[in-house]
Structure 1
Amino acid sequence: MDTPETRLSAYLASLASRPLSVDTRHRIAQSLLDWFTAGVSAAAQPAARELRKLSGSMFPGDDKAPVFGDACAVSVMGTAFCNAGITHLREIDDAHRTAMLHPGIVAVTPVLALAAVRPMTQHQFETAIVAGYEVAIRCGEVLGSGHAGKFHMTATAGSLGAAAAAAVSLGLDARQIQHALGIAATQASGLWQFVDDQAHESKPLHPAIAVRNGITAAYAAQAGYPGAKHFMNGARGLYALLHGDGDPALLDKDLGATDRIHSTTIKPWPVCGQLFTVVDATQALLDKHDIQTNDIASVDIAIFPQALRIAKVDWPAKAAETSFSGRYCVAILLLTGKLGIQETENPDLTNPRLLALAGKITLQARPEYAAAFPDRRPGTITIGLKNGQMLSATHDIRQGDPEAPFDWAGLEKRLRQLAPDIHEKKAVAIADWCARQQHRTPGDLFQAPPAELFT
């Protein structure tokens, strides 16, 4: 039967014989650098140590696939689980506006884990990443904002993206790929309730479990297990049961026209992406005006209502909540001119100057901004000065969006900013390895990144 699911699966299988464009190969290199930036940035965190410990307990083994941080004896599944969690710890991994998920974690992580122990060509390595992005994003767009408001899309659509990446890495045919996606769909889950229950520390487990689900699904399909063929559009498929409200046609519309990897956003700030336009607008005012915090009488923030479903922390009680508080992000940026790793992970939440400024800041959803979401994320900041002057800026495109992309030099600078403790030699080595991938001969055997890039 010819269905959107079968057409998508056939397209993924056909990638093996399709050359990738120069632009797509360059974008893959950028995505690899984004992934490494997120991983090395968080590798020394206590939460990363806990993930390594957890992975070692759950997935012991002696495979050679490296994990970020200290070496640990784990299987390939343990490597994928651990690296997916670590790369999400600092909320700096790439994102997607309309799919509302983090596609790079689920696309890149399983491929690099499998490539460390399984021979594949350079072309297979790259097309597996493209497949992971394609499926994660398409499934996210189909499920839509109604689903995203109730489920963590990286955990749901991300499971299918990871399955696609793993399936292409394993060289599965179209029938097997469809089964893998069906098996992954059965496992897709991820509740936002952790936000309401102040359990933010568990969020990195969502991509870790999604990647585990995807690899499991691909291996199961390879072993001959069948999956739900109508995993998205069936009467009891994801769309029907998990509050889907996007356009079902997007699952297979215009396959091959433009690789979805080009539509991602590389994040400039180590905070929740729902807050970027507000932060960008604040930075724009700081760049344009000599704003002294002692001169500020009021700060009013207006943001699209959907942002507050996720970035709903009014004022953080602990470091893990800083990235989800618009008032904190704006306050610390106005006070210090910085919103980096130090400000989000080691905040002085009792600083009298910070608290005094925060008391002048209000944040409200603006209903008329709702219609622009998710293609645009409008945010306005208005600063009232004690002399009566009003300063205002509105942004609806974020730095790092496809319309305002980073260049390669900007990504290298970003690596050093978001991984401030990285040694220069290692930063150069990571950037060089990622950049070289776009120039390697597609038919050559893929050379996995050296372990020292992870530690």
Structure 2
Amino acid sequence: MSDLRKLARFLSNLQWKDLPERVVETAKLCVLDLIGVSIGARKDELVKNVASSYKSRTKAEDCSVWGMGEKFPLSTAVMLNAMLAHTLELDDVHTESKCHIGASVIPAAWSTAEYLGRTGKEFLLAVVCGYETAARIGMALDASSHRNKGWHATATCGVFGAAAACAKLLKLDEEQTISALGMAGTQASGLWAFLGDGANCKVLHVGRAASNGLESAFLAKAGMTGPEHILDAKDGGLLAAMSDEYDVSKVSQGLGEKYKILSLDNKPYPCCRSSHCAIDSALNILNKDNIRYEEIERIEIGTYLVGYKQCAVSEGCLNPKIPLDAKFSTPYAVAVAFLYGKVTMKEFEQAIINDSKVQDLLHRVEVKEDERFTKVYPKHWGCEMTVYCKDGKVVKATTKDPSGSVHNPLTTDKVKEKASSIIEEHYPEEKEKILESILQLERANEMPKF
């Protein structure tokens, strides 16, 4: 039996009564977190322009888009919600697969459940299936090798998760679920090339992952078949095509023993996760040693190879000029951490990026690969920071696991507070209603509307 078939069998047989209470509660928190950061992006000009473009091409009004007050065809709603989910760079991360799973799985499951008239329980069960699938595909690909070949796991693995979630909502059997996953795999795509020249199409990756996963499930329902050996086929297998260090057994290893949704990072800072360990180190030094901007001569950071390549090599990383550059720049994140004592959405506004002190300090930050951290990645996303002061003082800080990680988690109250504060900014009068509708989803006979 193939590993993909074992996974498909598990997914198609999984029932609500099988889910441990902790899994259900975590799933609701994932949904709350994801919808919170999505609503926070509702005024983003790029996503608004994309929505207007789609609206002009169709008259169908099937499903809602979070915070936009309009309805769109199912596939378009899925795509737009996924784009919103990934815009603020605050969505969850499964570190062992290097995948922002929620950004594709939850939008696909939410709109499909709305379209089909499914209950809150059915939606949450589908979400768990999606997380389980995307995480396992990513682990099989090997996060480090997959990324170092240029692939964006949030997209390449997310499409599998979205397909699994939609397959569950469509009540597909084992064979149909295999086909949905097989077709998802043949559509898996998403490359990091955008980072080199600051293109803003990163949100397209999750948009397509979510909508392609949706279509894969509906096509399987209609009788189209997908390859069972999409992962391990000798000719055209996805794992060998996208990784040099793959292990297909991870797709089915330990199914039902520990759910992958329990192994998520929750991002406290609105920027690339690979810069978070450096932010933590900077804030630690700032608060503990009281080192100020005026005292700093230079800063050295040693981190894992993927973090170095992703946030300290491209022109945008080294010389950030716009918010997208800044969100993928470790030097920038460190500079604002020292200068402002915090890293929030405000610190990525254009005025802050243009601040001469920020630009001065970020150019005194040097990031290098440190094999100590590369060897333990992706289990640990850490770094060591050394600050050299003008008076000769040297201060060090090591962050093994950034705040919000599985090994250094945010409290449940902090996760709720993160979502609540964003929702309140946009819907102060409806905040409590939105929070309650999500945190009590298992009682809902239909999907909430907002």
> If the length of structure 1 is used for normalisation, what is the TM-score?
0.93
Shift of 1:435: 1.8
Q: Secondary structure at the match of 2:92?
A: coil
1:357 to 356, 361, 378: 361
Corresponding position of 2:380: 376
1:393 equivalent to 2:397? Answer yes
Q: CA offsets, 1:378-437, max 9 Å, x none?
A: 212222233332221111212111222222320132225556833433333332222223
Tell me which amino acid in the other structure corresponds to 1:407: T
Corresponding position of 2:284: 284
Q: Secondary structure at the match of 2:430?
A: helix
Compare 407-416 and 423-432 and name the one that shifted more: 423-432
1:86 to 84, 87, 101: 84
Q: Secondary structure at the match of 1:380?
A: strand
Corresponding position of 2:251: 251
Q: Is the 1:60–1:78 Cα contact (8 Å) retained in structure 2?
A: no
Which runs of structure 2 are paired with 1:11-30 in the superposition (5 Å)?
Answer: 11-16=10-15, 18-30=17-29
Shift of 1:305: 1.6
Shift of 1:330: 0.5
Which runs of structure 2 are paired with 1:255-334 in the superposition (5 Å)?
Answer: 255-311=255-311, 312=313, 313-334=317-338
Residues 20 and 300 of structure 1, relative CA distance in 2, 3 Å threshold: same
In 2, Cα distance between equivalents of 1:428 and 1:269: 24
> If the length of structure 2 is used for normalisation, what is the TM-score?
0.94
Tell me how many residue pairs correspond in the alignment.
Answer: 443
Compare 426-435 and 158-167 and name the one that shifted more: 426-435
Q: Is the 2:335–2:362 Cα contact (8 Å) retained in structure 1?
A: yes
1:366 to 365, 370, 375: 370
In 2, Cα distance between equivalents of 1:411 and 1:54: 34
Corresponding position of 1:184: 184
Corresponding position of 2:61: 62
Q: Which runs of 4+ in 1 moved over 4 A?
A: 57-60, 416-420
Shift of 1:262: 0.6
Shift of 1:58: 5.7
1:426 equivalent to 2:420? Answer no
Shift of 1:17: 6.1
Q: CA offsets, 1:113-162, max 9 Å, x none?
A: 01112122333211100010011000011111222222111111111111
Tell me which amino acid in the other structure corresponds to 1:19: D
Q: Secondary structure at the match of 2:12?
A: helix
Q: CA offsets, 1:307-358, max 9 Å, x none?
A: 1332231120212110111111100111111211111133433322223323
1:104 to 102, 105, 115: 102
User: Identity of aligned pairs, percent?
Assistant: 26
Corresponding position of 1:121: 119
Q: Secondary structure at the match of 1:204?
A: helix
Q: Secondary structure at the match of 1:424?
A: coil
Q: Is the 1:304–1:367 Cα contact (8 Å) retained in structure 2?
A: yes
1:32 equivalent to 2:31? Answer yes
Q: Is the 1:106–1:158 Cα contact (8 Å) retained in structure 2?
A: yes
In 1, Cα distance between equivalents of 2:243 and 2:180: 22
In 2, Cα distance between equivalents of 1:287 and 1:418: 26
Tell me which amino acid in the other structure corresponds to 1:112: W
In 2, Cα distance between equivalents of 1:391 and 1:60: 61
In 1, Cα distance between equivalents of 2:151 and 2:356: 37
In 2, Cα distance between equivalents of 1:129 and 1:59: 28
Residues 286 and 417 of structure 1, relative CA distance in 2, 3 Å threshold: farther
The alignment's C-alpha RMSD in Å is: 1.9
Corresponding position of 2:51: 52
Shift of 1:360: 2.8
1:175 equivalent to 2:181? Answer no
Tell me which amino acid in the other structure corresponds to 1:326: T
In 2, Cα distance between equivalents of 1:133 and 1:419: 24
Unaligned 5+ segments in structure 2 are none
Tell me which amino acid in the other structure corresponds to 1:176: Q
Residues 228 and 58 of structure 1, relative CA distance in 2, 3 Å threshold: farther
Tell me which amino acid in the other structure corresponds to 1:388: G
Which runs of structure 2 are paired with 1:229-244 in the superposition (5 Å)?
Answer: 229-235=228-234, 236-244=236-244
Tell me which amino acid in the other structure corresponds to 1:224: G
Residues 340 and 418 of structure 1, relative CA distance in 2, 3 Å threshold: farther
In 2, Cα distance between equivalents of 1:73 and 1:423: 19
Corresponding position of 2:214: 215
Compare 323-332 and 116-125 and name the one that shifted more: 116-125
In 2, Cα distance between equivalents of 1:382 and 1:15: 49
